[in-house]
Amino acid sequence: MKKTILITGGAGFIGSHVLRLFVHKYPNYKIVNLDALTYAGNLENVADIEKAPNYEFVKGDIRDASFIDQLFETYKFDGVLHLAAESHVDRSISDPMSFITTNIIGTVNLLNAARKIWTESFENKLFYHISTDEVYGSLGDTGFFVETTSYDPKSPYSASKASSDHLVRAYSHTYGLPIVLTNCSNNYGPNQFPEKLIPLAINNMKNNKPIPIYGKGENIRDWLYVVDHARAIDLVFHQGVNGETYNIGGHNEWTNIDLIRKMCEIMDRKLDRDAGSCASLITYVKDRAGHDLRYAIDSTKIKDELGWLPSLQFEEGIEKTIDWYLANEEWMNRIVSGDYENYYKQQYVKR
């Protein structure tokens, strides 16, 4: 079936993997990547597909309502996969406003534009909002987030994502807009901006720099390989039920310190260093304000209803990830030689 679909945030980490999968798998779709190319957006992430006949890149900001209306008028999208967002918790603590404008207002601009061009019929139309498990707040030592867990966001980032989730559901309830949502756990893999724990740690290990661990390193995250998230997004976009929410997770919980120790062992081996070399770089620093203790997803619903399961074991995924960063030094070097240096100083040197 021919379709024109919009993917927002396609130059970012997860968006680039979703784009690649869709461009290759759906030659009949025209796929438009809308991205403002903020500090986190990088067209190098999608350089391999830029010449594909079913792909087009548009530079633009979801905060600009008239631009978004015009874009929808021009392309008459059949479907939207909305990933564009400010995504880093630490930045939301130092600069909450950009999270409010992009994650909340930006999402509403897209919802309004979709509503306007789909006035005649909602048939075969879909607005898919990609969200996070952080909207559910923080777990104690036991239990899992399920789709009916009450929202309890704790950071400006997660509160802005929670707000956008509520608005998407409100547009479904009030106007009948066809929607689906997914809430996913922590992703890792190639192309992740090195402000996030895993790529930041790989880069620091490689360059013999301290590896900053917030607090005691006892916080727990549930890690999922990014390509498995992209596969889940494909499945939900095509088979998800209108109005439904699906949780996506890796069944793969690690304390931050155990995760970093595991990565240190792999890096010592890959860099041919003495055992314990990378671990000697581990440095405990001041904790993140309001640091959520534990996230863990119960993904029974997407497994039972849509047949999704992660395809990679973590040991394999983290090796692949480390190999990618070691093989793509140029990608990393271009990022860390720009504004990143200022960010790093503000975030870590003053800590």
C-alpha distances out from residue 121 to 75, 81, 173, 216, 306, Å: 16, 19, 16, 54, 26
Closest residue to ligand NAD: CB criterion: 12
- Confirm or reject binding of residue 212 to ligand DAU (CB under 6 A): yes
Of these residues, 128, 157, 225, 246, which one is catalytic?
A: 157
- Per annotation, catalytic residue among 90, 133, 195, 222: 133
Q: Tell me how far apart the alpha carbons of residues 1 and 86 are, in angstroms, rounded to a whole number.
A: 33
Angle at 37 between CA 34 and CA 41, to 5 degrees: 100
Distance CA 139, CA 181 (A): 21
Nearer to ligand DAU, 72 or 92 (CB): 92
Interaction of residue 200 with ligand DAU, rule CB under 6 A? yes
Interface residues for ligand NAD in 142-181 (CB under 6 A)?
Answer: 161
- What 3-state class would DSSP assign to 131? strand
Residue with tokens 């671990």: 279
Q: How far is the CB of 4 from ligand DAU (least distance, A)?
A: 28
Instruction: Say whether residue 134 binds ligand DAU (CB under 6 A).
Output: yes
Stretch 98-137 residues interacting with ligand NAD (CB under 6 A) = 102, 106, 130, 132
> Which residue in 15, 178, 249, 317 binds ligand NAD (CB under 6 A)?
15
| Shortest distance in whole angstroms from residue 164 CB to ligand NAD | 8
* Residue 171 CB coordination number (10 Å): 22
> Do strands 220-225 and 253-255 pair parallel, antiparallel, or not at all (unpaired)?
antiparallel
Angle at 120 (CA atoms; ends 75, 233), nearest 5 degrees:
55
Write down the catalytic residue from 35, 78, 90, 134.
134
- Within 10 A of 1 (CB to CB), how many other CB atoms are there? 7
Q: Is 221 in the site for ligand NAD (CB under 6 A)?
A: no
Find the shortest distance in angstroms from Cβ 278 to ligand NAD: 23
Q: Which is nearest to 110 in space by CA: 84, 146, 142, 149?
A: 84
Q: Which does 213 bind (CB under 5 to 8 A by kind): ligand NAD, ligand DAU, none?
A: ligand DAU
**Distance from C-alpha of 156 to C-alpha of 167, rounded to nearest angstrom:** 16
Binding track, positions 70-99, relative to ligand NAD; x by CB under 6 A: -------------xxxxx------------
Check binding of 103 to ligand DAU (CB under 6 A).
Answer: no
- Using CB under 6 A as the binding rule, whether residue 88 contacts ligand DAU is answered as yes
Q: How far apart are CA 345 and CA 23, in angstroms?
A: 38
Q: Which residues bind ligand NAD (CB under 6 A)?
A: 9, 11-15, 35-38, 40-41, 61-63, 83-87, 102, 106, 130, 132, 161, 184, 186-187, 193
Catalytic residues: 133-134, 157
